[in-house]
């Protein structure tokens, strides 16, 4: 059994059902990836979540959601006098989303400060793949960022496979220079990078495939998947690159977790032995299911039903 650890924040999500009516659930970029990873890999992998939450009722409900999704919560610390963040989704007629956040006092900002030595040793010794994102970095307070890079250094020394998603949210950073500095560190450690064209345009001022490839070339990255929304994507591995077409999805309802579910599909497919192009096609099918539903997390029974209809295998 493979051990995968995702690190970041899970929040209360309010997704629209009708005018003035919202559904409460739990989501967050890396959490979404963890959920779909576990659903696809089932008993073939142990998926753990590294974060911090409060001791309030919503935090307790979030821990119950982890259990329901069969995600290991042993690396989740519960902090007194803090709580989890929240966000509300607003969607356009085309399914494009915008968010309103309440996360200033989120317990996840202090995840590393409260990670016990025993838990850290276990995480380092037993983890096969460690997954984090630009948002995972952005929410950490300064001390926890230092502790995070120390942890990543230890994980890298233990030959843990490091995966980074370039999720960039300008509002979470003091300025671009701060974000660029942290992203550069992430690039140095990563074996696999999911690079978003929109992220690079906003942070670096360029979004062409060739420009992103050139920017990441100095780093020793095994696989780079450059995503461009519903458009074609570029994949780079072992010095070779290819462009892969993405099939259009007609009934787009909510793109909230499009990238997160894609990443889960890709990582699951690679674990199942798929080639890089085949893994991208598999991941695109997973994302296509998710964006045809409201909210980040599709109900498990509905997800399984739709996956069977389009012949998506799981472990």
Q: Is 121 domain-assigned?
A: yes
- The pLDDT of residue 88 is 87
Of 253, 271, 289, 293, the C-alpha closest to 41 is 271
- Residue 30: pLDDT band (50, 70, 90) is very high
Q: Is residue 315 part of a domain?
A: no
**Containing structural domain, residue 277:** 2-309
Is residue 254 pLDDT above 60, yes or no? yes
Give the CATH number of the domain where residue 119 resides.
3.40.1190.20
The active-site residue, picked from 29, 144, 199, 260, is 260
- What domain count does the chain have? 1
- The Cα–Cα gap between 192 and 123 comes to 19
What's the pLDDT score for residue 2?
A: 93
314 located within any domain: no
12: left (phi over 0), alpha (psi -120 to 50) or beta: beta
DSSP secondary-structure letter at 55? S
How many Å apart are CA 276 and CA 279, to the nearest integer?
5
pLDDT at residue 16 is higher than 70: yes
Q: Give tens-digit pLDDT for 175-208.
A: 999 999 999 999 999 999 999 999 999 999 999 9
In a domain, 28, yes or no: yes
The better pLDDT of the pair 125, 239 is held by: 125
At 66, the pLDDT band (50, 70, 90 cuts) reads very high
The verdict on residue 68 lying in a domain is yes
The residue with greater pLDDT, 279 or 89, is 279
Tell me how far apart the alpha carbons of residues 238 and 221 are, in angstroms, rounded to a whole number.
9
pLDDT digit string, tens, across residues 100-154: 888 888 999 999 999 999 999 999 999 999 999 999 999 999 999 999 999 999 9
Work out the pLDDT band at 312, boundaries 50, 70, 90: low
Alpha helices in the chain (DSSP H): 29-41, 57-68, 117-126, 134-138, 142-157, 176-189, 197-204, 209-216, 258-271, 276-290, 300-309
Name the β-bridge partners of 45: 2
Active site residue 153: no
């Amino acid at each position: 059994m493979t051990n995968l650890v995702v690190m970041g924040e899970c929040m209360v999500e309010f997704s629209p059902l009708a005018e003035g009516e919202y559904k409460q659930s739990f989501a967050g970029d890396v959490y979404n990836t963890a959920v779909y990873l576990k659903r696809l890999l089932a008993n073939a992998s142990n998926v753990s979540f590294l974060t911090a939450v409060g001791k309030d009722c919503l935090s307790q409900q979030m821990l119950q959601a982890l259990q329901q999704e069969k995600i290991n919560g042993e690396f989740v610390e519960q902090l007194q006098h803090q709580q989890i963040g929240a966000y509300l989704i607003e969607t356009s007629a085309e399914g494009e989303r915008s968010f309103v956040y309440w996360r200033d006092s989120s317990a996840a900002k202090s995840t590393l400060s409260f990670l016990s030595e025993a838990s850290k040793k276990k995480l380092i010794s037993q983890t096969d793949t460690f997954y984090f994102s630009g948002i995972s970095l952005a929410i950490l307070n300064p001390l926890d960022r230092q502790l995070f890079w120390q942890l990543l250094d230890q994980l890298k020394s233990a030959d843990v496979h490091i995966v980074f998603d370039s999720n960039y949210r300008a509002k979470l950073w003091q300025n671009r220079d701060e974000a660029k500095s942290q992203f550069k560190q992430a690039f140095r450690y990563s074996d696999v990078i999911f690079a978003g064209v929109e992220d690079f345009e906003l942070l670096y001022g360029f979004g062409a495939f060739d420009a992103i490839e050139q920017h990441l070339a100095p780093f020793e990255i095994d696989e780079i998947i450059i995503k461009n929304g519903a458009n074609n994507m570029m994949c780079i591995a072992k010095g070779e690159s290819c462009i892969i077409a993405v099939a259009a999805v007609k009934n787009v309802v909510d793109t909230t977790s499009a990238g997160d579910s894609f990443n889960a599909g890709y990582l699951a497919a690679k674990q199942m032995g798929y080639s890089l192009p085949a893994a991208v096609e598999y991941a695109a099918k997973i994302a296509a299911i998710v964006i045809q539903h409201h909210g980040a997390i599709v109900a498990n029974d509905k997800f399984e039903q739709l996956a069977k209809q389009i012949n998506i295998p799981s472990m």
